[in-house]
Structure 1
């Protein structure tokens, strides 16, 4: 999948596409249904399929730290879209000047002049431009005037609720991992690069991979039974996600202890799959008390995995 970073990198050869626009946070099953339409239409018209996203996401610009936690960071979003067979991902830098442009300017300058959109697929509640004054009705007028196709999408429902990034985020915050997995179409994962830490886990007898998550805020916290996909294969383990209050942690991070594993992961990317929440994060009176709890957490995670039908292989 080709990544176009910024409007200034749109080239003449990028003219003509079937486009959809949105945050696509999590690339959940509702998104996947829309993307399937985009791909099918692109195939029929022999055009590239293209997804437009914004960085930062609009709410992150306007509300700062009050913005909701992301389900997926940009790298994970890119990987999910690429896996679905999308041809191009256009990442538009979202700032106040861009947000303040008239919706007609967005249509004419970006959609028509830059991208030469041949067909656009968006939700009928899509809003854009200054004060969110652009809407589907305005797009319909432009489609008729300039001769591009326009389709609206209906939200995919799970029971009586429409699948949305907001609903998935709520499920994760409420420890409903199975519900989140159903709406995502896959287990919830966190990815990042393993960095050197304080080696406290090793001193306590439980060496950990300290994973830098590149996120302002996380939709999950606590201690989990996990599986981790590494350059050496996939392994079971236990992980703490949060601020590490016992050792005065100041930022959110993930620390994963992998069972029967003694390889060097420093500098590598790992993907951590949350399988089951064991407990909330808590502060302990001493490092000895923390060590005892880590041992109990590891035992609980091993018991959880022993009850699963297909335990993973481990490296010895």
Structure 2
């Protein structure tokens, strides 16, 4: 799996590919349908399969003060695209230069000159080019002019409602990671480098691995049953506080997983923490004894939840079908 910069010509072995084009934040069921169709077309034609995404997200460029909303990092998306079967991820850096390109310029310069595309697959609501003047109809017209076929994949519905990144965000903010996982086909996961904290958990017998939330969407603050994935491949069950730790001053927004039956040094390591089930909201306690007693209850409940939840690896549903990107 290669990562390509979208403003540099692709290497010869990856030119002429079929490109799935979209933001793909979350890489949910709908996104998987778009990518799956692109991979299917590429394999049938003996061409490379590429997935093109934008970073930062266009919303972040146009609204830099928008609250955090991302569901995946670039690194996470790259791994997901690789599991899906893509040969490369193309990253179009969304900056002033890209925002200023007309739809015609984007196709000619980035898709044709840069990638020599043999085909493009998008969701039906995909827009591109200056002021979003390009849409799927424009892409089809420009594709015909430049000699590649553009295909649109329509919405995928689950429980009678189209799958979308917004729907996933609403589920997470409502404290329903299970609903989000059904739409994502895997648990929502936050990845980061474990950093040193106040080590208060260690003094209480519950050492935690502290992660900054960075630009991730903020799910409902509270206590979660979680699974941690370490760089060496180990998967650890645990319980985590996600929020501002109201018992302690000053407030610090962190994800703090405590992994059961684990002893080791995780400082400086990049780990991924999956939110499996929401257990309760954050609460302020009168003292450490009351907090410790509640943590014992939280960990017992998390153990019970996780005992009935299989340790699934990334699950993707790459089928031909409609989707909403």
> Structure 2 length as normaliser, TM-score?
0.88
- Counterpart contact for 1:106–1:129, Cα < 8 Å: yes
Cα distance per residue 1:192-232 (max 9 Å; x no partner): 22222211101122111112444354234311112222337
- What is the DSSP-based 3-state SS (H/G/I as helix, E as strand, rest coil) of the residue aligned with 2:168? helix
**Corresponding residue of 2:123:** 123
Counterpart residue number, 1:192: 192
Question: Displacement of 1:13 after TM fit?
Answer: 4.9
Secondary structure of 1:92 counterpart: strand
Which residue is 2:179 aligned to? 179
CA drift at 1:249: 5.2
If asked which structure has higher relative contact order (CA below 8 Å, sep 6+), I would say 2
- Tell which deviates more after alignment, 200-209 or 279-288: 279-288
1:66 is paired with a residue whose SS is: coil
Superposed CA deviations along residues 55-110 of structure 1, whole A, max 9, x for unmatched, are 10001111223255111121111111111110110111101231122111111111
Helix, strand or coil for the counterpart of 1:283? coil
> Which residue pairs with 1:74 in the alignment?
74
Q: Matched residue pairs, number? A: 311
Asked if 2 retains the 8 angstrom alpha-carbon contact of 1:193 and 1:213, the reply is: no
How far off is 1:177 after superposition? 2.2
Distance 2:128 2:310 in 1: 47
More strand by share: 1
Cα separation, partners in 2 of 1:174 and 1:99, compared to 1, 3 Å: same
Whole-angstrom CA distance in 2 between matches of 1:156 and 1:41: 19
Is 1:292–2:304 an aligned residue pair?
A: no
Aligned equivalents of 2:310, 2:83: Cα separation in 1: 25
SS in 1 for 2:268: coil
- Cα RMSD (Å): 2.3
State the shift of 1:293 in Å: 2.8
Match of 1:271 in 2: 272
How many angstroms does 1:289 deviate by? 3.6
Distance in 2 (alpha carbons) for counterparts of 1:311 and 1:5? 34
Q: Under a length normalisation based on structure 1, what TM-score does the superposition of the two structures give?
A: 0.90
Structure 1 gap segments, 5+ residues each: none
